[in-house]
Amino acid sequence: MTTFSQLVDEMVIETRRPDLRNEIATYLNQTIREVHFEPSRGNAVFYAENRKEAEITATSDSAQTWDLPDPTIFQGMEAVRFPDVNAGKLEYAVERRPGPSLLTIPFFYYRAGSTFVFGGVVGYGGLNARIQLSYFEFCKSLKYKLAGAREAEYDVENGWTYYTIGLTDYGSSDSLKLTAQERVTNWLLMRWSDVLREGLRAKIYKRVGDQLRGQTSYSLYSQLRQGIFTSEAAEIQGG
């Protein structure tokens, strides 16, 4: 249980390489993104903590589009539901590629770059109909911040400490406390920091040429990360 900058500081002290602080921060972001994939099976891992839901209102009669809020962290669409067709029956769209086959599919969606397109022979219900989405995002990359520039820090015994940055007192309200936490950590760092720590060690030791320690840390990291997959992976319903 820790924050991004605190874990970077810890590894700088452990390895005695303050000159690698920026690289270590990069390695930590890489490790956080890395645990969203299961290398033994070559599968992407979708975590329940990363699930987002959205509802949009159609502004077109027959073909509605939706731009990803942040394409840099989008991982995958889970479900698209059209609740305003067939007398309220919750119809689910299927993902298809653009082409002639779309002319025969009652409800579909496809992705074009950072935009999703919804439609179908029956469609989503026309103008002002609702389209409900469930999708997954990666954890956002975090920045290393020097002490004094951090919105908050976490201690296992004492919990959260919030700071004033500029004119903002991040301990003054519940909403600002949540904002501070989002800026300094994520659920993986708070629940699975031991796993990330080993993955980080493996990268650092490889960087400095300590092959034995690097291999040992990578082996332990590979074993420990299975616990994240087993405990946190979302159950995805088949189409």
Give the pLDDT of the chain (239 residues) as one tens digit per residue: 999 999 999 999 999 999 999 999 999 999 999 999 998 777 899 999 999 999 999 999 988 999 999 999 999 999 999 999 987 788 999 999 999 989 999 999 999 999 999 999 999 999 999 999 999 999 999 999 999 999 999 999 999 999 999 999 999 999 999 999 999 999 999 999 999 999 999 999 999 999 999 999 999 999 999 999 999 999 776 44
| Rg, C-alpha atoms of the chain | 22
pTM for this model (two decimals): 0.91
Neighbours of 138 (CB within 10 A): 18
> Model confidence over 211-238: pLDDT tens digits?
999 999 999 999 999 999 999 999 776 4
Give CA angle at 177 (141, 138), nearest 5°. 25
User: What is residue 41's predicted lDDT score, i.e. its pLDDT?
Assistant: 73
Q: How far apart are CA 54 and CA 38, in angstroms?
A: 27
Residue 156 CB contacts under 8 Å (≥ 6 apart), including other chains: 1
Q: Which residues contact 84 (CB under 8 A, 6 or more apart)?
A: 124, 125, 129, 130
Distance CA 48, CA 78 (A): 11
